[in-house]
Amino acid sequence: MSFLHGIRLRGIALISSAALSGCASIAMEENFAATTEFARAEFGVATTFNASPESRAAAETRASELLGAPLSAEGAQELALRFSPGFQELLAESAAASAAATQSGRLPNPIFEWERLAAGHGVEIERALRLSLLDLLLLPRRATLADLQQVQHRLRSAGDVVRTATETRQAWVDAVAAAQSVKYAEQVQSAAAAGAELGRAMAASGNFSRLERARQQAFYADATAELARARLEATTARERLVRLLGLGPELASRLQLPERLPDLPAAAEAEVDVARRAFDDRLDVRLARAELDYTAKSLGLTRATSTVNLLEVGRLRNSTPEGESERGWVVEVAVPVFDFGDARRANARAIYLASLNRAAQVTVEAHSHVRESYVAYRTAYDLAKHYRDEIVPLRKSIADENLLLYNGMLISVFELLADAREQVAAVNAAIDATRDYWLAETELQAAMTGAGSAA
C-alpha cells in the first residue's frame, strides 16, 4: 500500500517580520499626528485617540472640567474631538484603513512547501521555498500606491475633524437658542395668563363682552401650546448636543449652557477674503486630486500585470532515506491563453476617466458651494443686524410709549398686553435670526475647508 502525505505552510520569514513589524504602527502614528496638527490649527484643539485606559481616564477628567461651568461653543468642540465615542470610532476606522494601506505595500509572504511521499518501505521528502518574483519587481509601485493611500486617509481624517466640529458647534447654537426662546415663550404665556384672568374678572362684573373674553382665553391657550412646543424643541436640541458630545447620563445631567447666544461681530467677512482663503486648502479638492493620482498610478500597475499576473520562482530539494539528494529551481508563470488582460485594462482606463471627471466636478462644486455659503452667511448677518438695530429697538420704543399712554389712562390694559406680546415676538424673531447667523457662519467656515454639509 502506498500513500501521499502533503503539507503546505504559509510562514512569515523571521528577518522580514522583524524589519516590517513596526511599519503599520509608524504610519498610523504619522497620520494621527497630522490629524492632531490639523485640528489644532483649525480649532485650537489637539485631538486624542483614547486607545488605552489612561487616555480614556484623562479624557473623562477633561470632560468633567469643561462641564463644571456653562459650556462654550469652543468647549463643546473640544469635548467632541477629545471625548466623544463617535469621533473615537472615526479615528479607529482611520487607523484600520492606514494599517490596510501599509499591508497593501508589502510583499506577500514566501511559501514553504514540505511533502512526504511513501511507497512500501521507501520514503521521499520534497521541500520547496517559493517567492513571487512579479510582486518583488512591482514592489516599488506598490509602495508608491500605499503612500498615496496614506495621503487620502490623512485628508479623510481631516474632513472627519471638520465635520465633527461643525456639527457640534451647530448643535450647540441650536441648543442655546432653543433654551433662550423658552424664556421668552414663558413671558408670552405669563402675559397671556394675566390677560385671560383679567378678562374673566371683567366679564364677571359685566364690563367685558363674552367675545373679548373668549379672545383673551384663546390667546392664553395658544401661548400655553407654544410654550410646550418651545420646551420640546429645547429638549430635542439639548439631547442632540448630548449625543454628539457622547455624554452618559451622569455627565449629561451636569451639562450647562450659556443663557444667550454670542453677540454679532462688528462686521461681516468680505467676500473677497473668503474667496481668497477658500481654495488654497479645501479638503475635498485635495482629496479628489489625491484619488486621481492614486488611480493614475494604479492604471500603470494594471497595465503591467494585465497579461502576466503570476510569476513565481522557487528553490527545490528532494531527499531519500538512502541519503540521495536532488536540488533545483522551479518557475511558475501564468500563460495568457484565455485571458489577455484587455478587460482589466479597459476597466482601469474607465475608472481613471471617472476619477478625472470627478476631480473636475469637485472643483466646480467647490466654487459653487463657497459662493452659496457666503450668500447665506451674509444674508443671515444682515437680517440679524436688522433685528438688533432696527426692529427690536422700534418695538421697545413703541412699548415705552404705550406704557405712558396706559399710565395716562388713554389705552386699556389689554392694548398694553397685546403690545407686550408683539415686543416679545420681535425678540423671539431676533433670537432666531441670531441663531441662523451663527449656523451660517459655522457652515461657511466648514465650506472654506471643504467639509461642509453640502461638500
SS3 283: helix
> Exposure pattern of 399-419 as b/e (b: 16+ CB <10 Å)?
beebeeebeeeebeebebbbb
Nearest to 131 by CA among 111, 106, 103: 111
Q: Which pLDDT does position 12 carry in this prediction?
A: 34
The residue type of 54 is E
Section 47-51 average pLDDT: 88
> Exposure pattern of 159-182 as b/e (b: 16+ CB <10 Å)?
bbbbbbbbbbbbbbbbbbbbbbbb
For residue 325, the cross-strand partners are 319
Q: How many CB atoms lie within 10 A of CB 302?
A: 19
Band the pLDDT of 404: cuts 50, 70, 90.
Answer: confident
How far apart CA 92 and CA 95 sit, in angstroms, is 5
pTM over cut 0.75: yes
Section 239-251 average pLDDT: 95
If you compute the radius of gyration of the chain from its CA atoms, what whole number of angstroms results?
35
The dihedral through the CA atoms of 54, 58, 64, 70 has a sign that is negative
**Per-residue pLDDT reduced to its tens digit, 305-322:** 655 555 566 676 777 666
SS3 265: coil
Residue predicted with more confidence, 240 or 9: 240
Band the pLDDT of 11: cuts 50, 70, 90.
Answer: very low
